[in-house]
């Protein structure tokens, strides 16, 4: 497995990271726990060394299941989790909260669920516009100074927010959605990460399932799967009906293009993300070992500038927007 440097952090990770939102057991529907654990084992055996989770996935369940799956192999990987939400008495997630208390208490709870003494990279999950950035970074610096975390970063932050963070500390990475159907980070975020030598972690590499090639116009999602809302993610209409149908037409053409190189459309999507030099790691979720094996086979496929030009022609031919002209959602 290709290894990549996560910016100037000193952390090194596999080009593909294992994303665990799908393992939360709620937002992507029910899961087979034993099969999900086998998927984690397959990822480890295939050289994946970065595993990404969050307190809010489930909530909490994804961290618990990941800890169970990793067992004594936790020491062999870069473990990433996220804090920055608070729960009400019923366990709902009512608000973003990146206050000192929320970050420090949330981290302690993550450590317990993940059954570990340290977190390699702790991220603030979404911007909390009510808490001063100085307070949030101060909490992260404190956690780092006492060895609870090795590095810290942010998720879903735009350039002005990262610039504000830089006044008070040193973030190691930013994690933002990036895939063929959502290219907003190409406008400004990539430039900033490259100039500041920040790690970039792209999530949603397979466009939340669309780029697996498994969906059809008859595909439906049942609550509480977030895609059942049929609306937006991050301010773009990913699963809005008409946009979804356009995406599916593009996927069919991408399937044909990938097949010409004896690859799947999912492998094309992963290779496309990894072709950007700014990308440190492409996060890809999996709930079955077979999905992991398909994903890792994409790493050795180097798509060319000509390939990317043809992909763009496919998008243009079907009139499918990539939203590169929109600001990053925060």
C-alpha to C-alpha distance for 58 and 248, rounded to whole angstroms: 28
Rounded to a whole number of angstroms, the CA Rg of the chain reads 19
Distances (CA, A) of 72 to 35, 38, 53, 232: 19, 15, 18, 39
DSSP H helical ranges for 47-156: 61-70, 100-114, 133-145
C-alpha to C-alpha distance for 57 and 63, rounded to whole angstroms: 8
- E strands, the chain, are 3-5, 12-14, 16-19, 50-52, 78-83, 85-86, 95-96, 119-124, 149-155, 173-177, 199-203, 281-285
C-alpha to C-alpha distance for 4 and 11, rounded to whole angstroms: 9
Residue of 201, 185, 270 whose CA lies nearest to 13: 201
Residues labelled catalytic: 57
């Amino acid at each position: 497995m290709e290894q990549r440097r996560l910016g100037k952090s000193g952390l090194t990770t596999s080009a593909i990271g294992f994303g665990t939102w799908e393992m939360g057991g709620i937002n992507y529907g029910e899961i087979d726990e034993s099969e999900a654990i086998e998927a984690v084992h397959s990822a480890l055996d295939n050289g994946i060394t970065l595993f990404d989770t969050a307190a809010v996935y489930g909530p909490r369940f994804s961290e618990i299941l990941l800890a169970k799956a990793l067992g004594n192999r936790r020491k062999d990987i870069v473990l990433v989790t996220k804090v920055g939400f608070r729960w009400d008495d019923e366990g709902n997630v009512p608000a973003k909260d990146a206050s000192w208390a929320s970050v420090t208490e949330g981290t302690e709870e993550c450590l317990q669920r993940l059954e570990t003494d340290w977190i390699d990279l702790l991220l603030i999950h979404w911007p909390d516009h009510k808490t001063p950035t100085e307070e949030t970074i101060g909490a992260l610096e404190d956690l780092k100074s006492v060895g609870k975390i090795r590095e810290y970063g942010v998720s879903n932050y735009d350039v002005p927010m990262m610039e504000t963070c830089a006044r008070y500390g040193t973030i190691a990475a930013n994690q933002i959605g990036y895939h063929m159907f959502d290219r907003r980070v190409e406008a400004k975020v990539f430039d900033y990460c490259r100039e500041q030598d920040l790690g970039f972690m792209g999530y949603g590499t397979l466009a939340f399932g669309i780029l697996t090639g498994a969906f059809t116009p008859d595909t439906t999602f049942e609550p509480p799967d977030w895609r059942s809302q049929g609306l937006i993610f991050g301010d773009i209409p990913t699963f809005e009906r008409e946009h979804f149908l356009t995406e599916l037409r593009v996927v069919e053409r991408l399937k044909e293009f990938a097949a010409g190189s004896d690859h799947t459309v999912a492998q094309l999507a992963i290779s496309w993300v990894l072709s950007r030099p700014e990308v440190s790691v492409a996060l890809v979720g999996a709930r079955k070992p077979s999905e992991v094996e398909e994903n890792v086979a994409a790493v050795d496929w180097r798509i060319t500038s000509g390939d990317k030009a043809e992909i763009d022609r496919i998008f243009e031919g079907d009139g499918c927007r990539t939203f590169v002209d929109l600001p990053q959602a925060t």
